[in-house]
Amino acid sequence: MAVLGIDIGGTKIAGGVVSENAEIGAAFLLPTRAAEGFAVSLAQVYAVIEHLFTGAVSAIGICAPGPLNPKTGMVINPPNLPGWSNVPLASDVAARFGVPCRVENDANAACLAETLFGAARGCSSVFYVTWSTGVGAGIVLDGKIYHGKNGFAAEGGHVTIDYASDSVCNCGSLGCIEVMASGTAMAERAEHLIGDDPATSLESPVTAESIGRAAAAGDLLALHVLDESALMMGAWLGSMISILDPDIIVIGGGVAQIGEPLFSRLRKIAPTRTINQFAAATPIVPAALGANVGILGAAAVVMEKH
């Protein structure tokens, strides 16, 4: 029997029928149309499910941006899905289609997918990072997603790394790793410096990917931004190693596409920022599942319980 994996994002909804071997068969994608409000975007979710659902589908897994409660299947109030306030998505989908449904935070689902099918296959404790416009995290311990008491664990992007910072994160706190070192923060830092460095090859609008390309070509401004961001992220990862002592750290998202120039810095810095004497042996690796991680993650969540 196959399961259906649905990945709800702020711009698109992707779905796929996933076999027990993590092979994606039929797939379908629609724009979320989030700006048009809750009724429209929810209808898009149902349209994707209806397009893919057949009698061969035994369960539906959904991953979505938080905050949400995976224990109840309630989507609480994600900032990039306007109007989605306390939506009992899991129970509504299960009632409509007559099969079990689970809803999971997208970073947690991606962590489980990488554990079962990707870069962390064979590992039992995994710390996953999605490093993109923001910073998200997921934790698998003993082969299971760690949710915490209220289902809100692993919000690693909102760990403060600079208590004296005046940089306000989207969560309302100050000095979070997300507001300090996300791809968005990297681009903003580079944009601020461009005017003072006429020799730089960077041009506005800057992206994390263009910073990576310029750094690889030896651009000093880009190298400075890359070094600074890797230092902050490496220090944060060192703290995560101190807390979790994971088998492996897996990093996905747009910033991770910078590749080895970034990962080599993280592997050097993280072990210097933890009490864990074995940290240098903790692999820090790129995610393996690429654009399919959301569909596979959603499917993995329901495979785990079904």
CB 34 within 8 A of CB 80: yes
Give the pLDDT confidence of 191-238 residue by residue, as tens digits.
Answer: 989 877 788 888 889 999 999 999 999 999 999 999 999 999 999 999
Give the pLDDT confidence of 96-130 residue by residue, as tens digits.
Answer: 999 999 999 999 999 999 999 999 999 999 999 99
pTM of this structure: 0.91
Question: What pLDDT is recorded for position 194?
Answer: 87
Whose tokens are 């070192």? That residue is: 181
Q: How many domains does the chain have?
A: 2
Rama region for 157: left / alpha / beta (φ>0; ψ in -120 to 50; rest): alpha
Considering the domain architecture, whether residues 155 and 225 belong to the same structural domain is answered as: yes
Considering the domain architecture, whether residues 203 and 74 belong to the same structural domain is answered as: no
Q: Is the pLDDT of residue 240 over 90?
A: yes
Count of helices and strands (H, E) across the chain: 9, 12
Contacting residues for 243 by C-beta, under 8 A, at least 6 apart: none
Question: What pLDDT is recorded for position 306?
Answer: 40
Question: What pLDDT is recorded for position 305?
Answer: 55
**Helix (H/G/I), strand (E/B), else coil: 158:** helix
Mean pLDDT of all residues in 46-63: 97
Considering the domain architecture, whether residues 140 and 197 belong to the same structural domain is answered as: yes
C-alpha–C-alpha distance, residues 24 and 7, integer Å: 13
Q: How confident is the model at residue 285 (pLDDT cuts 50, 70, 90)?
A: very high
Considering the domain architecture, whether residues 71 and 165 belong to the same structural domain is answered as: no
Give the domain CATH number at 145: 3.30.420.40
pLDDT-above-70 percentage for the chain: 99
Q: Is the pLDDT of residue 184 over 70?
A: yes
Average pLDDT of the chain to the nearest whole number: 94
Query: Where in the sequence is the domain holding 66, given as residue range(s)?
Result: 2-111+291-305
Whether 189 maps to a domain, the answer reads yes
Considering the domain architecture, whether residues 265 and 299 belong to the same structural domain is answered as: no
pLDDT-above-90 percentage for the chain: 86
Q: Where are the alpha helices (DSSP H) in the chain?
A: 38-52, 89-97, 106-117, 177-181, 183-194, 208-216, 220-244, 260-269, 293-305
Whose tokens are 């910078």? That residue is: 258
